[in-house]
Amino acid sequence: MSREVAIIGVGYSGFRALTPDVSYKELMYEAAVKAYDDAGVDPRRDIESFVTVAEDFTEGTSIFDEYVPDQLGAALKPVHTISGEGLHGFIAAYLQILTGAMDIVAVEGHSKASNILTPNDILAYAMDPIYNRPLRANPYFIAGLEMNRYLCETGTTREQCALVVAKNKHNALYNPTAAYGANIGVEDVLQSEMVSYPLSRMDMSLHADGAIVMVLASRERAEELSDSPIWITGVGWCNDSFSLETRDWSGAIYAAKAGEMAYRMAGIRSPWQELDLAEIDDTFSYKELQHMEALRLCRPGEAGPLTEDGATELGGELPVNPSGGSLGVGHLLDASGLARLLEVVLQLRGEAGQRQLPDVETGLAFGWRGLPTTSGAAVILNN
């Protein structure tokens, strides 16, 4: 019988296009203080392990974990970095509590994307140095290839993708933490300049800065410390082929397998019926649709029409990205998955303000690591 683990505290700072007044340490400190207060814990005394999510070239510092313990209250405590999606870090924290060796673990992720002056060069640096980089193409071509194949195979249209942008940016208007809320229409997206056909500029989410900290606890501690613990009922994560030459270009297999693992754990058979909301990576507009299908919320080709019908709106049958997703909130680099999870937590607690969905019990968060990876992680929560 698996141990039960809940989220007992969340804290965040941001999210904005620029955060020039604070260093990353100060951004993290703010999120941590709020999370620990929310959880009712003193990190120096109560938190037994800390997981941080970071990549050296995103920070501009090698061995970035050196710089995290102080602002998380983790000095001289067990701390490690997961170089992965924010949800990978979250799952690592969850696994530690499942072992029984720990009861309270914190996870942190942040973005200071505004401090990166050469983001596309760094993205190119993630590509295979022998087979792909020498082509010297802007890395967004990978998204262009995938979007093209996805549209072709599923019959999804650019208009349907544009509707995702419109929906999410509109949702973001009701989210006080979102950086890019706006009222825009399909035409605005279709007319924005091409970056890598068929991916246009407005199909892409913009970066934002921010930090998110969450505190997880075993059942015994969760019940002591929290009035509204949010239970983790399923997790899944998977990597598909990294190689561009051998990957599936339309299927998002990493999402399918991550979802499969999470649903199995949570005992979910019909996700569309059994989930009340889903916060799914929408780094690019088509990704929300592709991920919906890979996560079996609907069949291939159905996500576009469902979006057209309004089924994924705030008032729809299964709201997708009520927070506004990355398109509306801002893309927080590897912390994006934690931002998706944050929304699920807030919704399940009834703390989502103007965008609160009624009668929600079960939510799914799914994060993708972005280009050029095929790496994703899913978490299912219940209140």
Both structure tokens of 303: 């996500």
x/- letters, 218..237, toward another protein (CB under 8 A): -----------------xxx
Q: Give burial (CB, 10 Å; 0-12/13-18/19+) of 107.
A: buried
* Binding residue for another protein, selected from 16, 40, 83, 145, defined by CB under 8 A: 83
Q: Give burial (CB, 10 Å; 0-12/13-18/19+) of 173.
A: middle
Q: Which one of the spans 54-62, 165-173, 324-332, 341-349 is the region binding another protein (CB under 8 A)?
A: 54-62
Report, in Å, the least distance between residue 68 CB and another protein: 8
**Burial call 314-327: b when 16+ CB within 10 Å, e when fewer:** bebebbbbbbbbbb
Report, in Å, the least distance between residue 7 CB and another protein: 17
Report, in Å, the least distance between residue 11 CB and another protein: 13
Report, in Å, the least distance between residue 142 CB and another protein: 13
- Nearer Cβ to another protein, position 98 or 184? 98
Report, in Å, the least distance between residue 99 CB and another protein: 4
Closest CA to 215 of 310, 108, 123: 108
x/- letters, 13..52, toward another protein (CB under 8 A): ------xxxxxxxx--x---x--x-----xxx--------
Report, in Å, the least distance between residue 4 CB and another protein: 12
Contacts of residue 9, defined as CB under 8 A and 6 or more positions apart, other chains included, come to 35, 36, 37, 38, 39, 40, 41, 213, 214, 215, 226
- Nearer Cβ to another protein, position 7 or 82? 82
Report CA dihedral (341, 342, 344, 350) to the nearest 10 degrees.
170
x/- letters, 127..146, toward another protein (CB under 8 A): xxxx--xx------------
Q: Please tell me whether residue 56 binds another protein under the rule CB under 8 A.
A: yes
Peptide bond connecting 15 to the previous residue in cis, omega within 30 degrees of 0: yes
x/- letters, 89..128, toward another protein (CB under 8 A): --xx-xxx-xxxx----------x-xxxxx--xxx-xxxx
Contacts of residue 163, defined as CB under 8 A and 6 or more positions apart, other chains included, come to 186, 307, 308
Residues near another protein (CB under 8 A), total: 87
x/- letters, 168..207, toward another protein (CB under 8 A): ----------------------------------------
Q: What one-letter code names the amino acid at 132? A: N
What is residue 216's three-state secondary structure?
Answer: strand
- Whether the CB-CB separation of 353 and 360 falls below 8 Å is answered with no
Report, in Å, the least distance between residue 268 CB and another protein: 17
d(CA 289, CA 201): 18
- Nearer Cβ to another protein, position 128 or 309? 128
- Whether the CB-CB separation of 344 and 219 falls below 8 Å is answered with no
Residues 354-383 that bind another protein (CB under 8 A): 369, 372-373, 375
Residues 63-82 that bind another protein (CB under 8 A): 63, 65-71, 73-82
Report, in Å, the least distance between residue 316 CB and another protein: 32
For residue 47, CA distances in Å to 8, 14, 74, 235 come to 12, 24, 8, 22
